[in-house]
Amino acid sequence: MNTSGDRLAVGEKLAYGLGDAAANFVFQTQITFLMFFYTDVFGIAARNAGTILLVSRLLDAFNDPMIGALADRTNTRWGRYRPWILWSALPMAIVLVLCYTTPALSSTGKIVWAVATYNALMVIYAANNIPYCALSGVMTGDTRERTSLASWRFVCAMAATLVVNMFTVVLVKYLGQGDSASGYQQTMAVWGTLAVIFSLVTFAFTKERIAPIREQRSSVRQDLADLFHNRPWIALFGISVLIYIELSLRSSAFLYYFKYYLQLPNVFSWIDNFGLFNGIGLAFTIVGIAASRRLVTQFGKRTTFRTCLILSALFMAAFALAPRDSLLILLVLQVLLQLSFGPTIPILWTMMADVADFGEWQTGRRSTALAFASIVFGLKLGSGFGGLLNGELLEYFGYTASGTLSDVARNGILLMATIIPAAVLCVSVWVSYFYRLNDRLVAEIEQALRLRRTPASPDGLSSS
């Protein structure tokens, strides 16, 4: 049996990374397009759409930890977490298509349909993504390999994000032939098919190496109690909520920003400016992700993470000063922003594995999937609050899906895409100072856990 410190083959890292590409063919449609789809295609009021997004995220407060606890207690010949990726792949794709299907219903019926399909998607997405996230914590116990694994994961995730953000609008127009409702439905069928294929690759070509402690006996209540005594987890939860409030708010606002605020002629016939803008930005996000391991090696995890968040907030706020008719300035700011933000993505997820290790080191009990599930819930909660905030702000600034927008509404959309999310990101920087796991302590924990997992260790698998 491999030890937790074994290096992973490139092929296995790529196979793992494709699992997050699969997830982002689903997740990115929610972050970037779902609010716009609800308001401008399905015909749901902005405030109602925002409330739907938040309520669904709050329901995940019960769903995510339950799935995490179930995954931790799953025992098959394929492992604990990989089977969930296999079982959930096809249902996730089917419900994604239903979520972007527009039956002829009354206003109330549309809300019921949106609530039902979106919540179903959230449940199945969690059943796929939470065990997937936990998988990285049991493929290797080497923190450097985890950083490398996270880099591969997010290069693949950003590649999928790039494809979704660049080509969704184009595919909607092409496949719908003037019918946006049909176009969205067919486009989601394309993304769902790719999600199924990539999920199957992840299941087939990855391996779980770190087994739970054999003597471990704990209840879900005990596992949850352990989390709330895990101070690094508490800090990381807060950071995750704030970052995803910012991401959800800004990502959703940018489609309105391009449609209603900017005054730009289309540059290319084969892609709209929004797709071009996102495509270039995401390409440089991948560069930032690829640089994360070197930056962490040189400056440490916490310092790199915090510095990149500060730079991201500054460049995000700078968009407010950009001329409405200068695509070049917008693209320069987008490149700088995404280069700065890119390294934070794999670092955040590597920190989740560190938090799970800290919990095992502290208590002698390991609940990898629950630790990841609780942070993933924080991400979803942040996305939900971002969606609610988006809907409330659109209503506050007087946005309507039809008709000419007032200057107040246009300037409000500008603030939603720039200053407001930048301010939220600054709060996350402040919270990051409460995260106390530095590189030295992480290395000590890694060594201690490796000794515990070694059968010849004098105290076996007991806690320290």
Q: How confident is the model at residue 367 (pLDDT cuts 50, 70, 90)?
A: low
Q: Which of 70-84, 175-189, 373-387 has the lowest mean pLDDT?
A: 373-387
What count of residues does the chain have?
464
pLDDT beyond 80 at 371: no
Q: How confident is the model at residue 1 (pLDDT cuts 50, 70, 90)?
A: very low
Q: How confident is the model at residue 460 (pLDDT cuts 50, 70, 90)?
A: very low
pLDDT of residue 270: 75
8-26 pLDDT tens trace? 899 999 999 999 999 999 9
Which residue in the block uniquely carries the two structure tokens 């990726």?
Answer: 85
Q: Which of 206-220, 247-261, 409-423 has the lowest mean pLDDT?
A: 206-220
pLDDT of residue 360: 80
User: What would the two tokens of residue 123 be?
Assistant: 């449940």
State the Cα–Cα distance between residues 385 and 270, nearest whole angstrom. 35
pLDDT beyond 80 at 381: yes
Mean pLDDT score of the chain: 87
Q: How confident is the model at residue 461 (pLDDT cuts 50, 70, 90)?
A: very low
pLDDT of residue 3: 44
Instruction: Note whether 195 and 25 are within 8 A (CB).
Output: yes
pLDDT of residue 19: 96
pLDDT beyond 50 at 462: no
pLDDT of residue 6: 65
43-75 pLDDT tens trace? 999 989 989 888 887 777 678 778 888 888 888
CA angle 95, 100, 102 (to 5 degrees): 115
pLDDT of residue 10: 92
For residue 193, the one-letter residue type is T
State the Cα–Cα distance between residues 121 and 103, nearest whole angstrom. 17
pLDDT of residue 55: 83
User: What would the two tokens of residue 252 be?
Assistant: 């959703």
pLDDT of residue 456: 46
Model pTM greater than 0.75? no
Q: How confident is the model at residue 209 (pLDDT cuts 50, 70, 90)?
A: confident
Q: Which of 5-9, 35-39, 191-195, 243-247 has the lowest mean pLDDT?
A: 5-9
Q: What share of the chain is helix, strand, coil (3-state, %, to 5)?
A: 80, 0, 20
Classify each residue of 296-334 as buried b or exposed e, where b means 16 or more C-beta atoms within 10 Å of its C-beta. Answer: beebebbebbbbbbebbbebbbbbeebeeeebeebbebb
384-439 pLDDT tens trace? 888 889 889 999 999 987 767 889 999 999 999 999 999 999 999 999 999 988 88
CA dist 370 → 145, 256, 450 (Å): 22, 36, 21
Instruction: Note whether 158 and 289 are within 8 A (CB).
Output: yes
User: What would the two tokens of residue 107 be?
Assistant: 């206003």
Q: How confident is the model at residue 458 (pLDDT cuts 50, 70, 90)?
A: very low
Does 6 or 12 have the greater pLDDT score? 12
Mean pLDDT value of segment 224-234: 80
State the Cα–Cα distance between residues 172 and 41, nearest whole angstrom. 11
Within 177-272, residue ranges assigned H as helices are 180-205, 220-228, 231-256
Class of residue 117 by CB neighbours under 10 A (exposed 0-12, middle 13-18, buried 19+): middle
End-to-end CA distance of the chain: 24
Q: How confident is the model at residue 213 (pLDDT cuts 50, 70, 90)?
A: low
User: What would the two tokens of residue 197 be?
Assistant: 């294929």
For residue 78, the one-letter residue type is W
pLDDT beyond 70 at 215: no
Architecture in CATH for domain 10-207+219-453:
Up-down Bundle (1.20)
Does 426 or 290 have the greater pLDDT score? 426
